[in-house]
Amino acid sequence: MSITKFTIAAMGVCGLLALLPGAVHADEDEETEDLPFEDLHVALVTGEGFQSAEAMMPLAFLTNRGAKVTVVGVEPGKVKAYDNDVHLLVHVAAREADADEFDALVLPGGHAPSVIRGNEAVVDFVRRMYEAGKPVAAICHGPQVLITAGVVADRTMTCYADVAEELTAAGATYEDKPVVRDGDMITSRLPKDIPQWLAAMETLFAEHHED
């Protein structure tokens, strides 16, 4: 991606972050105590065809608060968004990722979930994160990976409308709301819900980070 396109994308992320409560902005007077997630290690699981805003905005949001975000996928290397020319680097293959090293899980949407849910190592990693009681934040098509992992039964969730039937068939209760929280899981529907999704994510992750 060209520098110009990257700059435009980054400006979009920063613009959204500025609207969120508790946003951290660069300031020479700020100190590390303003980074509430300094010791938080988050796994962002995605792949080819991710939705750019749903992946890049939580990446920026969490990093801006001091978290270490590792992108986990099928194989290390660059993957491309389906909706523009944004690329994202997958740092580690799911088969090499240790769920014990992470504190939280983020599942962006787009076309990627339908691709990565077919990879046994990705599904196993997500299942292990869930079973370990790590907080989970998924949006749009992201819950498809949770469906394949077999962890949505008896959960109250939301998702992209086209996934709702599959979600309920897997035993979940679907609610058409911008954000739905059920215990240690938060889900959202669409890119327009991202500000509320990130605010809920911050609250959920902070609760676990303080434990």
Which of helix, strand or coil describes residue 45?
strand
For 30, half-sphere exposure in the C-beta direction (CA atoms, 13 angstrom radius) is: 12
Secondary structure letter of residue 159 according to DSSP:
-
Q: Is 141 a catalytic residue?
A: yes
| Residue 58 tokens, joined | 């939580």
Strands 173-174 and 179-182: unpaired
Of 183, 211, 177, the C-alpha closest to 197 is 177
Among 25, 41, 91, 141, the active-site one is 141
| Residue 26 exposed, middle or buried by CB count within 10 Å (0-12, 13-18, 19+) | exposed
By annotation, the residues acting in catalysis are 141
